[in-house]
Amino acid sequence: MNNEAQFMELIGQHRGIILKLTGLYATDAEDLADMYQDILMQAWKAFPSYRGEAKFSTWLYRVCLNTLLSARRKKQLPVTGLDHHSESLSASAPANRSEEIQRLHTAIRTLSPTDRAIISLHLDGYDNGEIATLMGISNNNAGVKLHRIKNQLASMLKNL
């Protein structure tokens, strides 16, 4: 399998990471498309250096977060109400479940950009040590942040 085919296959298998993360940062459809393009481009350029030592999902997470967090935010995300991305989530889920998913998505989008990255890593099953390594912060700082974010999220979910 050539490099390009291998890349496309791996990205295809892990496109959920890109979809979920960009959904947390994009302000509109145009912004979303720009983010896809940027992440795909960065990942493609970096792919030759991927040696399979880390899981591809972890590698892609790093590329996504570095791309998204080093990007200028064109405008602030809406802080209340459901936006375009939340409305388009999991249309196939039952009504209540779908509402809960939308509430969670809206609540996470209300967090600061770095907090969004940390909570998404946590919810995707990364432990504090892995989060700390990926974000480049201390274990202790990751734990403190996570604790604060969870409390913030719980409080927001109550009020949404």
Site residues for other proteins per CB under 8 A: 4, 8, 11-12, 15-16, 18-20, 22-23, 29, 32-38, 40-46, 49-50, 59, 62-63, 65-67, 69-73, 85, 88-91, 93, 97, 100-101, 104-105, 112-115, 117, 120, 123-125, 133-137, 141, 144-145, 148, 153, 157
- Pick between residue 80 and residue 96 the one whose CB is nearest to other proteins: 96
Residues 6+ apart with CB under 8 A from 66: 42
Please check whether residue 120 is in contact with residue 24, taking contact to mean a CB–CB distance below 8 angstroms.
Answer: yes
The distance of closest approach from Cβ of residue 80 to other proteins in the complex, given in angstroms and rounded to an integer, is 20
Q: How far is the CB of 103 from other proteins (least distance, A)?
A: 9
Nearest residue (CB) to other proteins, 81 versus 132: 132
3-state secondary structure of 78: coil
Instruction: Kindly state the DSSP code that residue 134 receives in the 8-state scheme.
Output: H
The CB-of-106 to other proteins minimum distance in angstroms stands at 11
Looking at the Cβ atoms of 37 and 155, the one nearer to other proteins is 37
Quick one: tokens of 73?
């935010």
Q: How far is the CB of 110 from other proteins (least distance, A)?
A: 14
Q: Which tokens sit at 105?
A: 């998505």
Terminal alpha carbon distance of the chain: 48
Q: Which is nearer to other proteins, 43 or 77 (CB)?
A: 43
108 in Cβ contact with 121 (< 8 Å): no
Q: Which helix (DSSP H) or strand (DSSP E) does residue 116 occupy?
A: helix 113-123
What is the dihedral angle through the alpha carbons of 65, 66, 67, 73, rounded to the nearest 10 degrees? 80
Give the nearest distance from C-beta 128 to other proteins in angstroms.
Answer: 14
**Which residue lies nearer to other proteins by CB, 71 or 82?**
71
